[in-house]
Amino acid sequence: MRWLIPILLVANVANAATMRDLKDPKKIAEVFPKTAKLRVVNVWATWCAPCVAEMPELRAIDAAFGPEVAMIGVSADDSVPDADRAKVAAFLDKQKITYTNVYYRGTVDDLMTFYRFEGTIPITLVFDRNGKELWRHDGPVRSADAIAQIKKLLRRLQ
């Protein structure tokens, strides 16, 4: 029975979200795989109740698509005092989030300017591979609505 523990630990690590630290919002686009036709960005934080509530919806969106759609979460946790990157990583693991997340260490003003939003999170944006914004949703996203919208965008790109 001792051999089960290492196997379970390896399986858990394999399913954990990748987290990258970035300070410049322009560099977030570089995190996406080049082959993704659509790139979904979700700006969120662990201290944001609606953000936490929408995590299962985001997980469902990510699971609905193959490599043609890539998701990146952008954690704004570092914008508050006593921010803790390890806490964000543990939260993502607990939520079973496997898509890549960025631990954003830049200023909130730069992030808001770059993505053209007023600071209310969560916000979800969809871009084509050239960086053109195709869709945005302010507030918690519903997976069924977002999946339908993303499918419509994919059809337009063909």
pTM: 0.89
> Residue 101 domain-assigned?
yes
> Residue 84 domain-assigned?
yes
Domain that holds residue 137: 16-25+34-157
What is the band of 16 on the pLDDT scale with cuts at 50, 70, 90? low
Residue 14 has a pLDDT of 46
Phi, psi for 56 (deg, rounded to 5): -60, -35
Quote the distance between the C-alpha of residue 1 and its chain's center. 37
Residue 4 predicted with pLDDT over 50: no
Residue 155 has a pLDDT of 96
Question: How many CB atoms neighbour CB 153 within 10 A?
Answer: 17
- Residues paired with residue 133 on neighbouring β-strands, in sequence order: 127
> Residue 7 domain-assigned?
no
Q: pLDDT tens digits, residue range 57-107?
A: 999 999 999 999 999 999 999 999 988 999 999 999 999 999 999 999 999
> Residue 90 domain-assigned?
yes
Residue 17 has a pLDDT of 79
> Residue 40 domain-assigned?
yes
User: What single letter denotes the amino acid at residue 111?
Assistant: L
CA dihedral sign, ordered 49, 52, 54, 56: negative
CATH at 97: 3.40.30.10
Sequence-ordered list of residues with C-beta below 8 angstroms from that of 157, at least 6 positions apart, any chain: 37, 38, 128
* Number of domains the chain contains: 1
Q: In whole angstroms, give the CA distance from residue 108 to residue 16.
A: 26
Nearest of 157, 146, 135 to residue 68 by alpha carbon: 157
Q: pLDDT tens digits, residue range 112-153?
A: 999 999 989 999 999 999 999 999 999 999 999 999 999 999
> Residue 1 domain-assigned?
no
Phi, psi for 89 (deg, rounded to 5): -60, -45
> Residue 10 domain-assigned?
no
> Residue 64 domain-assigned?
yes
User: What single letter denotes the amino acid at residue 43?
Assistant: V
- Judged by average pLDDT, the poorest of 12-26, 37-51, 121-135 is 12-26
